[in-house]
Structure 1
Amino acid sequence: MIGLPERIKSIIPGFAVSAAVAMASVVAAKFIPNVGAASIAIFLGMIVGNLSFDQSKMMSGYKFSETDLLAYSIVLLGATLSVGNIMALGVGGIMFIVIQMAITIVSALFIGKKLGFGNNFRYLMASGNAVCGSSAIAATAPVVGADDNDKGIAITIVNVTGIVLMFLLPAITAFLYGNETLRSSAMIGGILQSIGQVVASGAIVGPEVKDMATIFKLVRVVCIIFVVIFFTILKSREEKKNGLEMYSEEAAEKGGIKIPWYVIGFFITCALFSMGFIPENVSMMCKEISNKFEIIALAAIGLKVNVKELLRQGKDVTMYGAMVGTVQVAAALILINLFF
C-alpha cells in the first residue's frame, strides 16, 4: 500500500500540469468569453496531453484532478443552489424541465444503441446532454464504471454540441419567439449543456433572458442527484442481468446500490443552503472554488483523451451528438408550445 507522502509525490506532476492548463484556459476565456474556460480546458488539455512526451508520471495527478477535485466541486456546487431557484419557474417550468430531460435521456440511450455504442458511453452521453455537460458526465462515470477514454470522448462531443447550439439557439428564439423572455429562456436554459454556455447564449439575446435561462439551467443542475441515482440503478440491473448468466459470489455481493459520497454531499449542502445555514458570502466562495476545481478536473480529463481514438470514432460520435442535439431542440419546441 502506497503511503501518503509517496501518494502526494506521485500526484504533484500531473496535478501541476492540470492546474497550469486550467489557468491558461481561464486567461484565454477572457479573450473568447463565448466559449468559456471549461470548454477551453478540455480542448487545451487534449492538445497538451497528446504531445510527444512521456505522460506516465502524470497519470496519478490527472486521476486525482479528475476524480477527487470534481467530487469536491459537486459538493460545493450544492451550497450555491436552493429550493427557491426551483420555485421561481412555477409548475409549468418544472414540468418542462423534467420532461425535456427525460426525452433527452431516452433519446440518447436509444440513438446510441442504434449506432452501436456500448452501454457506458450511452449513459455518459445521456447524462451529459440532459443535465450539465461535463460535470454530469464526470459524476456519472464512476457509478457506471466508464473508462477514461469513453469519458473524454463523451465530454468532448457534448461540449462541441453545446458550442454549436450556443450560437444557434439565439437565432431560433429570435425567429420563433421574437426573443420573448420566458420562452427564449426555456429554450436556452433547457437545452444547453453547461452553465457557461447558457450564460453566453442568453447574453446574446439580452440580460433578462440570460438571468432566467440561468435559473432553468440551475434547476437541471439540481436534478443531477436524481440522474446519477437513475444510472446507478440502471447499471445495477445490468450487472444483475449479467450475473444471472455468469453467477459468482462476487456478482452476488454487488446486489446493493451504492450512492457516491459526493451525491449525498451535494444533497446535504443544497439543503443547508436552502435552510439558510450557509451564508450568502460563503455560498459565493463555494461557487468560486467549485468553478476552479471543475476547470482543473476538466483540464485533466482533456489531458487523458486519446485523440487518435477520437478521430477513429469521429464520424460516428459526431453523428451521435448531432442527432441528440436535434431531438433536444425538437422536443423543446413542442414542450414550450404546450407549457408556455
Structure 2
Amino acid sequence: MSKNKYLVLLPGIILAFVLYTLSQGFNNIIGTELLGYEKSPISTAMIAILLGMFFGNVFKIRESFIRGLDFTQKNILKLGIICLGIQLKPFEFLEFGAIAIPLIVICIVSVLVVIKLLINKLKIPRNMAYLISIGSTVCGTTAIMATAPVIGAKKNEISYAIANITLFGILSMLIYPYFANFYFNGEPLLIGLFLGTSIHETAQVAAAGLIYDQQFNSPETLNVATVTKLIRNTFLIIMIPLFAYLYNRGQSREKKYSIINIFPYFVVGFVAMIIVRNVGDQMFITNNSEIWLSTVDSIKSLSKIFLTMAMAAIGMSTNLRDIKNMGYKPFVVGFVGMATVGIVCLGTIELYLYLFN
C-alpha cells in the first residue's frame, strides 16, 4: 500500500479514536461523577458500540471515513487481540485450551445439526443456510466471507447472513457477560469459556470479555474468552473444506479455495505475544522489573484502546435498516443458532463440572 493509500485511512481511524475518547469521557462522567463510584461500573466498550450505532444510523457516513473505519474494525481489532496476549502468564493458556477444544467441537456439531433440520422446515435458500451455519459456529462474518466464494453465494445472501450474525452477535455480546456472571457465580474460567464459545464474532467476543473485565474487574475472563475464540477461529481450516465438499458433492465442478487465504494469521501474533510475556517474565522479573511491568501495562492499555476503537467502528457499520429488511425466516434460523450454541455450551460445561469436579 502506497503512502497516499495509508493517508486515505487516517480520517476513519481518527474518527474511531474520537469515539473511543468520547466513550471514555461518558464512562467517567456517568460512572464516577454521577453514580459516585471510584471506578466506573459501566463498560467503555459497550458505550463505544452504542455510540457508533447511533452515529452510523442517524447520520450518513462520508466516503472519506469508510475505508479507515473498515481498516479499524479489521486490522486494528487484530492488533488489539495480538496485544491481549501480553496478559497471559507462562502456560496459563494451556490450562483452559484443553477444555476449550472439545467444547468447541460439540457446539459446532450441535448447531450444524439443528440448523440443518430447521432449514428443511423453513425452506430458506441453501446458500444462506450454509453461511448462517458457519457464521454461527466458527467466527461470524470472517467465516461467511471465506465460505461465500466456495459455495457461489450471491451478494444479497451474503448481506443477509452477515446482518443476521451481526444482530444476534451484538445481542449476545451485550447480554451474555451479565448472564454468565450470574449463572457461573463469577467463576472466570467458566465465564470465559462460555463467552468465547457462544458469541459469533471475534470482535464481539473481545468486546464481551472487555465488558466483563470492566464491569467485574476480571482480566482472566477476558484472557480465557479471547484464547477460546482464537482456537475456535482455527476451525475454519476444517470447516471451509468440509462445506466445499458438502456443497459440491454430486456436482461436476468444484470451486477452488485456499487454506492460506482463510488462515487467521493474527492468531500467530497473539501466540508470539504470549511467548514475549513468558520470556520477559523470566529475563526481567528480577532485574529491571519495574520497566518490564510498565511495558506490560502499556501494552495492556493499548490493547483496550485498539479494541474499543474497533467496537466503535463496528457500531458505525451496523445498518439497522438492513437488519430490519431481512425477513423473518433467516431471523428465526439466526436466533435458533445463537440459542443452540448457548444452550449446548452451558450443558457441556455443566457436564464437564459433573465429571471432573
C-alpha change, 1:337 and 1:288, in structure 2 (3 Å) is same
Match of 1:196 in 2: 210
Equivalent residue pairs, number? 306
Cα displacement string for residues 176-198 of structure 1 (whole angstroms, at most 9, x for unaligned residues): xxx5x7xx444433323532344
**Which of 87, 100, 103 is the matching residue for 2:103?**
100
Amino acid at match of 1:195: G
- Pair 1:326 & 2:343 matched: yes
In the TM superposition, residue 303 of structure 1 has moved relative to its aligned partner by 1.0
- 1:13–1:57: 8 Å Cα contact kept in structure 2? yes
- Distance 1:289-1:94 versus aligned 2 partners, 3 A rule: closer
Distance 1:123 1:84, change over 3 A: same
2:44 to 37, 40, 56: 37
Task: Verify the 8 A CA contact 1:189 1:216 in the aligned structure 2.
Answer: yes
* Map of 2:3 onto structure 1: 4
> How far apart are the structure 2 equivalents of 1:282 and 1:143?
36
Relative distance call for 1:59 and 1:243 in structure 2 (3 A) is: farther
Give 2:305's aligned amino acid.
K
Distance 1:332 1:325 in 2: 11
Q: Distance in 2 between matches of 1:45 and 1:113?
A: 35
Structure 2 CA distance for partners of 1:119 and 1:80, relative to 1, 3 Å = farther
TM-score by length of 2: 0.70
Matches for 1:266-277 after TM superposition, within 5 Å: 266-276=270-280
Q: Find the counterpart in structure 1 of residue 322 from structure 2.
A: 309
1:104: Cα distance to partner? 3.0
Question: CA 1:190/1:9 → structure 2, altered by over 3 Å: closer, same or farther?
Answer: closer
2:23 pairs, out of 25, 31, 50, with: 25
Change (3 A) 1:333 1:217: farther
2:129 match: 118
> In the alignment, is the contact (CA less than 8 A) between 1:153 and 1:305 conserved in 2?
no
* Match in the other structure for 1:218: 223
Q: 1:107 to 1:53 in 2, by over 3 A?
A: same
Q: Secondary structure at the match of 2:60?
A: coil
Equivalent residue in structure 2 for 1:166, among 177, 197, 205: 177
In the alignment, the residues of structure 2 paired with residue 168 and residue 231 of structure 1 have an alpha-carbon distance, to the nearest angstrom, of 28
Alpha-carbon shift at residue 304 of structure 1 (Å): 1.1
- Name the CA distance, whole Å, in 2 between partners of 1:153 and 1:24: 28
Paired residues of 2:19 and 2:312 also in contact (CA < 8 A)? yes
Is 1:59 the counterpart of 2:66? The answer is yes
2: distance between equivalents of 1:39 and 1:81? 24
Aligned-partner Cα distance in 2 for 1:71–1:170:
26
The 3 A distance-change label for structure 1 pair 78 and 45 is same
Q: CA-to-partner distance for each residue in 1:241-278, whole Å, 9 max, x for gaps?
A: 65674647xx55x4544434322222222222223368
Question: Residue 140 and residue 306 in structure 1: after superposition, are their counterparts in 2 closer, same or farther (change >3 A)?
Answer: same
User: Where does the alignment leave 5 or more consecutive residues of structure 2 unmatched?
Assistant: 32-39, 120-127, 150-157, 196-204, 285-291
Match of 1:134 in 2: none
After TM superposition, give the deviation of residue 9 of structure 1 in Å: 3.8
Post-superposition shift, 1:119? 3.2
- Secondary structure of 2:305's counterpart equals helix
Instruction: Note closer, same or farther for the CA distance 1:160–1:13 as it changes in structure 2 (3 Å cut).
Output: same
CA displacement at 1:234 relative to structure 2: 1.4
Q: Structure 2 residue aligned with 1:84, among 91, 103, 111?
A: 91
Instruction: State the Cα deviation string for residues 278-299 of structure 1 (Å, max 9, x = none).
Output: 8433222222111111111121
Identity %: 18
Question: C-alpha offsets along residues 47-105 of structure 1, whole Å, 9 cap, x if unaligned?
Answer: 21112425333221111111121121222222322343246x5xxx6654443333333
Please state how far the C-alpha of 1:308 moved relative to its aligned partner.
1.4
Task: Give, in whole Å, the separation in 1 of the partners of 2:279 and 2:163.
Answer: 37
Do the aligned residues in 2 keep the contact of 1:85 with 1:218 (CA within 8 Å)?
A: no
Query: Residue 311 of structure 1 aligns to which amino acid in structure 2?
Result: K
Once the two structures are superposed, what CA deviation does each residue of 1:300-327 show, in whole Å capped at 9, x if it has no partner? 1121112012234475234543343233
SS in 1 for 2:351: helix
What is the rounded CA distance, in whole Å, between the counterparts of 2:110 and 2:298 in structure 1? 37
Give yes or no for contact 2:189–2:224 (8 Å, CA) kept in 1. Answer: no
Q: Secondary structure at the match of 2:234?
A: helix
For 1:44 and 1:149, locate their aligned partners in 2 and report how far apart those are by CA, in whole Å.
23
- 2:81: which partner in 1? 74
On the 8 A contact 2:193/2:228 being kept in 1, the answer is: no
Distance 1:22 1:57 in 2: 19
1:232 matches 2:240: no
> 1:190–1:217: 8 Å Cα contact kept in structure 2?
no
Structure 1: runs of 5 or more not aligned: 129-136, 174-178, 204-209
- Report the AA paired with residue 264 of structure 1: V
Give the 3-state SS of the residue equivalent to 1:82 in structure 2: coil
Looking at structure 2, the residues matched to 150 and 197 of structure 1 have their Cα atoms a distance apart, in angstroms, of 26
Distance 1:266 1:197 in 2: 20
Aligned counterparts of 1:163 and 1:54: Cα–Cα separation in 2: 24
2:233 maps to amino acid: V
Against the structure 1 CA distance between its residues 149 and 270, is the aligned structure 2 distance closer, same or farther, given a 3 Å change threshold?
farther
Residue 332 of structure 1 aligns with an amino acid whose one-letter code is I
